[in-house]
Amino acid sequence: MSNSSLAPLPSSDRTDVTARLRDALLSASFSADGLLDLLGAPAYAALARSETVPALRATRGDSPLEALVRLFLLQRPVPHARVADVLPVADCLASGWLTRTGGDEVVAAVDVRPYGGPGGEDWFIVSDLGCAVGGAGGIGSHHEGVVLGVGGASTTLAGITVRMPVGSALDLGTGSGIQALHAAQHATRVTATDLNPRALHITALTLALSGAPAADLREGSLFEPIADDETYDLIVSNPPFVISPGARLTYRDGGMGGDDLCRTLVQEAGDRLNDGGYAQFLANWQHVEGEDWQDRLRSWVPRGCDAWIVQREVQDVTQYAELWLRDAGDHRSDPVEYQARYDAWLDEFEARKVKSVGFGWISLRKSAADRPSVVVEEWPHPVEQPLGDTVRAHFDRVDYLRAHDDAALLAGHFRLAGEVVQEQVGLPGAEDPEHVVLRQHRGMRRATKVDTVGAGFAGVCDGTLSAGRILDAIAQLVGEDPVLLRDRTPSQIRLLVEQGFIEPAR
């Protein structure tokens, strides 16, 4: 499956060698925790920025772990004798994990990076040399067939994905295999696709070296390798979403105009989901002159699906072009060539009347509801990852609110969600606050203003009394007509449920 113009890859068929290599790496504490202990936090963090000097300084000793860090993370030659003390070096040379240099040294054929799983698993992510972390500075990241390792987008998608036991999962555009690796922990069957055959080969290596079950690997773009009658319980994709003038880089540029690739991916996912199944993507979308960006995204949502779309960041077209020119290393090229490429990006945006580009998450849930819920919002504020449970809870609340009219809502019992606090805002010494804010310290970390009734209601929600009885008690305390209070409060209760401040007491 390798690309002949790139370095040869290790064999994905020698599972016996891969298993021995994994055992040797773990025996030497070549793990996320082991690296942090060896390198220290500053050098460890510098690696994520593609800065290797601090790690080189921290690995000047002769321990087995230092040899492995220099070999697989820093891609430095290491004496054969040192490696032979740690790894099954003859087998690694024969199967292509290592190669010999001109002298009595060996070098790694691929980058192997420890990655801690959500349950404390010791995993390893394989990628092309110099490309463990996406972004500017990756050696060789300008090549169209290169396979990157884990970057911020990869971990973001892994964090927002709903995790529950499922029969089948599909990872579209698998890259180095990180999403397939996560899915293998809770899906009976995992299918992974990629247009780049080299990525499928590397995914096989990532899964095997991490001790995970093999996936069904299929070559092709988006849903092309999937049969018309195949459906899944979970679909995830960190696609080549960059909106660019052309398709220079396979891992980044989808080859379709504008944001058509992301739109197509979302629209086609609905027919590929089983009832109750989830599809979750990272995406970019255009902000077009004279068009509401939220309406644009609502038009993407397939029939029969609820959707929650969160815009995390917006960049104007110049910022966006500069970001991805740096990503490809174009800022280090000939200035005339750089300017020509920059112009090409701006020409593309100008032709499409694009003023800025949004980035965020798209989560679909196949509900087949008569009244689908489509929530599109901007939320650039800090959140607490992982958010998979938060995403699942959002759609559970959608189901609850859709099934309960105001009368049923008042008959329901609620409890305050975990780690919600109340803040009172007003002038010092004032008898009453100007307003009350409820704030979450988990998940999306939302904050919302409430009136005195809303604050009082949320404060006593412990599942004991129905909403209606709580409002009757509040009406008596504040001297209001309980009938009028019951009439005007359900909308506020509905908002508190929708945003996760209170939850049905089941």
Task: List, for residues 6-42, the tens digit of each pLDDT value.
Answer: 889 999 999 999 999 999 999 999 999 999 999 999 9
pLDDT band at 4; cut points 50, 70, 90: very low
**Two tokens, residue 323:** 């970001």
**pLDDT over 60 (residue 2):** no
**pLDDT over 50 (residue 3):** no
The region of weakest confidence among 121-125, 353-357, 434-438 is 434-438
Rounded mean pLDDT, 135-160: 75
Rounded mean pLDDT, 302-328: 94
**Two tokens, residue 274:** 């089983």
pLDDT digits (tens, 9 = 90+) for 371-384: 999 999 999 999 99
Give me the pLDDT at residue 117, please: 95
State how far the alpha carbon of 283 is from the alpha carbons of 202, 232, 257, 297, 312, in Å.
23, 20, 14, 11, 10
Q: Is the dihedral of CA 337, 340, 342, 344 positive or negative?
A: negative
Give me the pLDDT at residue 1, please: 41
pLDDT digits (tens, 9 = 90+) for 93-102: 999 999 999 8
Beta-carbon contacts of residue 53 (< 8 Å; ≥ 6 apart):
46
The region of weakest confidence among 173-182, 242-251, 335-344, 393-402 is 242-251
Q: Which amino acid is at 3?
A: N
d(CA 71, CA 92): 13
pLDDT digits (tens, 9 = 90+) for 385-430: 999 999 999 999 999 999 999 999 999 999 999 999 999 887 887 7
Give me the pLDDT at residue 134, please: 39
Rounded to 10 degrees, the C-alpha dihedral 41/42/43/48 comes to 90
**pLDDT over 50 (residue 141):** no
Rounded mean pLDDT, 221-242: 95
pLDDT digits (tens, 9 = 90+) for 92-130: 999 999 999 988 999 999 999 999 999 999 999 999 988
Give me the pLDDT at residue 259, please: 94
Give me the pLDDT at residue 72, please: 96
Rounded mean pLDDT, 304-312: 98
Q: Is the dihedral of CA 250, 256, 262, 264 positive or negative?
A: negative
Terminus-to-terminus CA distance in the chain, angstroms? 51
pLDDT digits (tens, 9 = 90+) for 281-299: 999 999 999 999 999 999 9
pLDDT digits (tens, 9 = 90+) for 37-82: 999 999 999 988 878 999 999 999 999 999 999 999 999 999 999 9
Give me the pLDDT at residue 30, please: 98
Please, where are the H alpha helices in 100-248? 152-160, 178-183, 197-209
**pLDDT over 50 (residue 135):** no
Residues 317 and 346 sit within 8 Å (Cβ to Cβ):
yes
Q: What is the pTM of this model?
A: 0.94
